[in-house]
Structure formats: structure tokens, C-alpha cells
Amino acid sequence: MHYQSFVRKYVRTVFSLLLILTNVQVFAQNTTPTTTSPDPTQKVDPSQVTNQQAVDFYNQAKSAGMSDLDIERAALQRGYTLDQISAMRKRVQQKPDEKQTEDPNRDELDETRDQDDLDELEDEANNERDSTNARRARARLRNRTFGYAFFARASSTFEPNLRIATPRNYILGPEDEIVVDIYGNAVDNFRMKISPEGTVKMLNLAPVYVNGLTIEQASERIINRLRQAYSTLNRPGSGTYSSITLGNVRSIRVMITGEAARPGTYTVSSLATAFNALSLSGGPSRNGSYRNIEVIRNNKVIKRIDLYRFLVDADLKDNIALQDQDIILIRPFETRIELNGQVKRPGIFEAKADENLQSIIRYAGGFTPEAYTKTFTYQRNTGTNYMIGSIDSAQVASFVPKNGDIFNIKKILDVVSNQIEVRGAVTIPGPYALEERCNTVLKLLKMAQGLSPRAFLNRAILERSSGDTQTGIVAIDLRKLINGEIEDIPLLAGDILTVKSIEDLKEFTFLTISGSVINPGNYYYYKDITIADLIFQAGGYTEGGIPYRIEVSRRVKNDTLDLPTSQNVRIFTIDVADNLVLNPDDQKFKLQPQDIVVVRKSPRYEAQKAVTISGEVKYPGSYTIINNFERISDMFSKAGGLKPEAYLAGARFYRNNELIAVDIEAIIDKPSLPSNLLLMHGDTLIIPRKSETVRIQGGVHNPSVMNYDPKFGYADYISQAGGYTEQGWKKRVYVSYPNGRTYRTKSFLFFRSFPKVEPGAIVTIPIKAAEPQRERTPGERVALFSFIASMVSTLTLAVITLSRNNN
């Protein structure tokens, strides 16, 4: 992390605690009048301090000129432990919904790195216009430097663990806390903080100098001093013992410089290591080295860190503990190369001086299974242009790459060098290895477990690639080859042997069956198949199917004897045994390919047919049609006759859900009428009660439904409806009766005959379509006036002429 980011997350809680716990005058001066000053002696739970309060206190402290180290030390002196500070830091990092947030400064780092890459890409695109360099620039953006992702996200913070046992090599210094527990015959506890002079003081004893000592060395000195008060302390059989451990640890300051993403000075725990500090600084920058990082102490380089050892092998040997005023220097990289193609981790890798290509490939995870490793190419910058080179697998261990080299590892060719293949009518077709036991045609057939029983032996095809990249064909007589009549044929790599079956060389043949079988359709043709066999394959007969008068139609091939020239098929009518029992007579007629078999249905077999009669009959319901000659009039006897309230004039007859206009009353009186239709399945007859209303609709002033009056005629009903409207079309009036029949107005000269109105009738007066009125044009008006003037002048002249003749 950057120094400012670290302060915001780690020290902000220290600032808030200090400002709450200490009576600092500068805070009182900068506090607004409306803010109540906290009690300096009151110890506040860190969980009660809000994030905004911590930020405000931090800004006030900085404006007062206090350093971060001063504020942190003051907070520690007030008795707050690093565990509490660490807990507060984690709480500050939480959002209100208690979900972990990412460091905004980390996002700034990511955006900065992305912008650097984009700028580099734009510069290269502007300076290098050829397609090769443009591709190199795009590839460099995609394949970032190996190790970049390790520092790219906030999850890799590497915070030091403050809950571990004290390391043996930990060196004590000022501000470290030592905890002494005395137990047994005597009980006591001391929490001593090392003074700036490097001493600790217990009881009224003289101070003990522990600065620069390990915890074990300091324990010996402290016990020796405590024996002045407890003479038998830690002696065998004394019963008084002590335990000395490290309490809160001090903070140290480390400077990170060079090619760091965020160089600066960082305050870290004294338990922090080099990796902790590098993580805080965001790691190496775009030009920083991952393999040449120096830890400098007292102007001497005490460690050179190679991050690749940790990233590749998880080796923590370079992760040394830091001390106060240590400097971490990130050198610029010297050699970077790029690996593309068939490696497990393509990208840009840093190489040390004299490091061979094999080591770099190991950093990339090695080759993929599809990598072509025999030879691969590389591109190198000569200082004036680019050159292409190639190396083979034997040179990888000794080849030393140079800065800017780009290596391309291609994918292996999708070709097997020693493969031969057999296809078709063999027991186990497929590819085989060209080897001693499988290097001829007969040996290959033996490896494939021989030919299938239906293999075609007169000819097989051997496909062989020739040197001119074309494929040649070698025809083989398998029968002679198997019988030893011809010599065996040696095979070459890439040869493909194809053996056909007899069925492969024939047209697909089938039989068709239709009619009264359960599963009609197409079926494979088999030699000597009979009609009974085909009916059995089709699932047998349906209900009503008969085993006689089965028709077979057959295509005419060469047997055209006794056939007229216009006939191209033969028809056979065959009877087979009932219930598909085996019968020698059935075997006499064999089906041939493409035959069509039709199984007939019994001429008197049909599904039951029914009609329905409802309404005012004694026994309404559905009735079965006994024969094909029953008519409408026969339905009444089935239903037991009519009820007294039945109205035959309004009876309605439906067929296929459509109203058929028939006069049922006339049919009853005279069954021989043509309207007495033959019954069909699904016919419905409805006998209603007498309706006592009449509907008037259409071109009348008051369309309505009114009661039927036997004394009323057509004109009376029109009058009751308010008379005709101006658009009412009197000549086209029609009356619809309940039985579906319709009668219209009849005209003769000036006389009109209107239909009779009966109960349940509907009188409809059509409405004339309004003709649109069109305004005459000026030309039409002039023509009309001219015509009228001409007619008037003509009539005037005629009248004058007649008057003169009379005189």
C-alpha cells in the first residue's frame, strides 16, 4: 500500500484513540465550538469510534504539525495494544453492510498501471505503423509481466501476524512491551515497556538493559534481577517460577525507493518482513525488477530478493524480518523476454544475467501438451531492426535470451507420423500403428480381427498419399490376397484401407405397408420375406383388418411379358393365414424390394354412428344409427314421440355444428319430402317450445323485441317498431324463422308481398348504404348550365313554331 493509504487504514484508529484519550491543546483549538471535548482520562472502546471521526481527528492532528510516529507512540502509551489497533483497522475497512471493501488506493494503482500500458501501446502504435509491431504492442498489453498479478489486488496485503509466538531472532528495542508472569508460591505480573534508553524497570529494582537482545537473552537478565526480590525464582524445587513473553510490539519505519509503484516511507510493525513492505508499496512499477530487490541496512546490502523464487517455488528464504530505518531498493529490470503460444503461462518474464531459456520456460509453467518443442522461433531487436531466429530442443538448456526477445512456441501438427487406418467391413475398424506386426494389408486385417461376414471380397481400396500432396488409390482383390494368389502389399504411413460390405454396394431397399395394420410405414427388405412377416413387423391387424384380399403392387423391371405397354406395375391379390400362424402356403409368395402392401378392412366393419335429439321429446339423448337408410323422421320414434308443448315449426337441425334449414313440421306430415335427409354421425335435432316473441331489427326507428300477436300483420310489427327510417330498404326486407329458413319481400310492378311473421321470427330491414355526396367542379357546373340553356332554347323554339303553325 501507499504510505497515505496505510495511514488511513492503520493509523487512523490510533489518531482517533489518541485524540479521545489525550488532552492535546491543538485538538481543542481546531475543534468547532459545537463539539464537546472528550474526557482525556476516559478509555474509549475502539468500536465506538466512527470512520468519519477518525478521518476528522487525523486531519486536525496533521494540521497541528504532529508526525504519524508521535501520534502512534502517544496512543500506545495510553495502554492500547496493537491487537486493538489491528481490530480497529479491520473494522474501518468494512462497509456499512459489513462487506469487505477494496483499497481505493489499490484501485488507483491498478488504474495507473493500466494507463501506463495504454500510453505505451499508443506510443508504439504511433511510432511503429507496420502490422508486426502493432501486434507486438497489443500482445504486450495482454500478457503482463509475470508477478504483476501478485501485487495487482488488495487481497495480497501480507499483513504481519501479531498473534504468533515471539520469533527466536526477534531483537528487542524501545517501545516493545515485555510481560513477566510470576506464579507458584508467589504471584505477580509486570507489563514493562522498553524505554528510549533501552531499559526496563521492575518493582524498586535497578533498570535492566535489554535493547538489542533477543527475548531469551533478555529473559536471563530479567530473571537474574528479579532474584533480588525472589531469591529462589526458577530454581529447582523452589516452587516459584516465572514466564517472560513479548507483549505489544513497537512500530518501525521502512523506506521503499527505486522502481516501486508507490515509493515512500512506511510505518510497519516490528514483526513485518520484506514481503509485507513490498505489498504496502504496490510492488515493482512497470520498469521495476522482480528479481533484483535489495534490502539495505546501515548502508550495507544485507539481502537481494528474487521474487521468482517465491512465486514459482514458494521459497520464503528472501522474506527476511525488517528493522527500523531499513531501505528496500527496487532496481530497474535489465532483461525481459516474452513467451507466447503453447506454454502454460504466456507472458513477459524477467531473466537474470546468463540465465538460460530453459529456466524461463520453467517460470512459465513449462510447455502445454500440444506444444511443438522440436524447434521454435524468436524475434530479436538488433538495434536497427528486428530479426527472426530459431532454436531446436537441444539448444534450450544453453541458449541465453537477450532483452526484448519474443519467443513463439507453436502448436504441434495434428498428424500422427506412424498411423495407418482400416475402415468398413472389418471387426474392429480404426487407426493402428505402423509397426512390424502391422506393416502389410494381411497383417492389418489380422490386427482388426478379420473381415466381417458380409464383406465384399472382389475389391478393396487402399488410399495412399503421394509425394505431390495428392492421394492415389490402389485397388486390391481381397479374395485372391486372402487365398495367397497374389503377394501381400506393404503399407506406408498414412495409408487408409477401405473394405466395403455387400450392403454398401446396394441401393437401400424397403417395403411399404398401409391400411388396417397397427404401425403402417416403411420397413427394411429382407430376403425371402413374406406378407405375413411384414404384417407381423407392422404390429399385426387393426380391429376390422382381414387376412384376405391383401393387395401387393410391384414395380416392373425385366418381367414385362404379357403386360400392356401402358402398364408399369403388377397387382397381386393374396390371402394369408388368419392370426399370422405359420403356413406353408404363405411361403410361396415372396415379397420383392419396393413392394407396397395394402391390408383391407372388412366391408361391414365400421364404428358406431350416433345422432342426438333434445328438447321437447319424451326421451332425449343420443341414439345409434342402425342402418344407412335412416332419416330425420325416424328420430322421433326413437325418442318416444313429442311432448305436448313441442313447437315443430321452430325445430332446428344441425350437421357439423352448422344449422341446416329444413321444415321439420312438413317432414313429419310427409316423410317423402327431399328435405327428409339421411342421418349422419353427429347430427343433432333440437325441438324447442313455442316462442312468443318477434324481433324487429335494422332500418326502423325503434329496433326491439315484442310479443307475438296472431292478429298482427307485417305492417303492424313495423308500426310497433316506429316505422322505417330514411335508409330503410323496404324492397329488401326478409324474415328469418326459427328452423333456419328465410323469406324475403316479393315485388310485382307497384305491388309488394311481405313475408308472414310467425312466433320466434326475426324481421330484418336492410339499411341502404349512404352514397357520398360530391361537390361539382366548376367545369361540371358550366356544362350543366349550358345543357339547361340549350334545352330551354330548344323548347322555346318548338313552342314558337307550333304557335305559328296553328295560326
pLDDT band per the 50, 70, 90 thresholds, residue 131: low
pLDDT at 742 over 80: yes
Torsion angle, alpha carbons of 64, 66, 68, 71, to 10: -100
CB 213 within 8 A of CB 171: yes
Q: Please compute the mean of the pLDDT values over residues 700-717 and round it to a whole number.
A: 89
Give the Cα separation of 737 and 758 in Å (integer): 7
Half-sphere exposure of 299 (CA within 13 A, CB side): 0
* All three cell numbers of 558: 425385366
- Dump pLDDT digits (tens) for 592-637: 989 999 999 998 888 899 999 999 999 999 999 999 899 999 999 9
Max mean pLDDT among 50-59, 532-541, 574-583 falls in 532-541
pLDDT at 21 over 80: no
- Going by C-beta distance under 8 Å and a sequence separation of 6 or more, which residues neighbour residue 296? 302, 326, 327, 328, 329
- Dump pLDDT digits (tens) for 463-490: 987 655 567 888 999 999 999 999 999 9
> Minimal CA–CA distance to 251: which of 225, 276, 284, 283?
276
Give the Cα separation of 448 and 429 in Å (integer): 6
pLDDT band per the 50, 70, 90 thresholds, residue 65: low
Element (H, E) at 120: helix 104-127
CB 266 within 8 A of CB 314: no
Give the Cα separation of 332 and 288 in Å (integer): 5
544 CA to centre of own chain: 54
Q: Please compute the mean of the pLDDT values over residues 373-377 and round it to a whole number.
A: 89
Cα dihedral 535, 538, 540, 542 sign:
negative
- Dump pLDDT digits (tens) for 304-353: 999 999 999 999 999 998 988 999 999 999 999 999 999 999 999 999 98
pLDDT at 92: 40
The whole-chain average pLDDT of the chain stands at 81
Q: Please compute the mean of the pLDDT values over residues 224-247 and round it to a whole number.
A: 87
* All three cell numbers of 488: 501381400
% of the chain beyond a pLDDT of 70: 78
pLDDT at 585 over 90: no
The helix/strand/coil state of 127 is helix
Give the Cα separation of 194 and 172 in Å (integer): 8
pLDDT band per the 50, 70, 90 thresholds, residue 782: confident
Amino acid in position 723 = G
- Going by C-beta distance under 8 Å and a sequence separation of 6 or more, which residues neighbour residue 464? 471, 472, 473, 474, 492, 494, 495
Which segment of 160-169, 219-228, 578-587 scores lowest on mean pLDDT?
160-169
Identify how many contiguous H helices and E strands the chain contains and give both numbers: 19, 37
pLDDT at 56: 58
Task: Give the residue with greater pLDDT, 59 vs 312.
Answer: 312
Q: Please compute the mean of the pLDDT values over residues 764-786 and round it to a whole number.
A: 79
Task: Give the residue with greater pLDDT, 770 vs 577.
Answer: 577
- Dump pLDDT digits (tens) for 380-409: 998 899 999 999 989 999 999 999 999 999
pLDDT at 19 over 80: no
Q: Please compute the mean of the pLDDT values over residues 23-38 and round it to a whole number.
A: 36
The residues pairing with 179 across neighbouring beta strands, listed in sequence order, are: 191, 245
> Minimal CA–CA distance to 534: which of 522, 544, 543?
522
> Minimal CA–CA distance to 404: which of 332, 358, 333, 337?
337
pLDDT band per the 50, 70, 90 thresholds, residue 801: confident
CB 186 within 8 A of CB 203: no
pLDDT at 75 over 70: no
pLDDT at 751 over 90: no
pLDDT at 732: 87
pLDDT at 772: 65
- Dump pLDDT digits (tens) for 491-534: 998 899 999 998 888 777 889 999 999 999 999 888 889 999 99
pLDDT at 64 over 60: no
Give the Cα separation of 248 and 206 in Å (integer): 23
- Dump pLDDT digits (tens) for 648-672: 888 999 999 999 989 898 898 999 9
For the chain, how far is it from start to end, CA to CA, in angstroms? 137
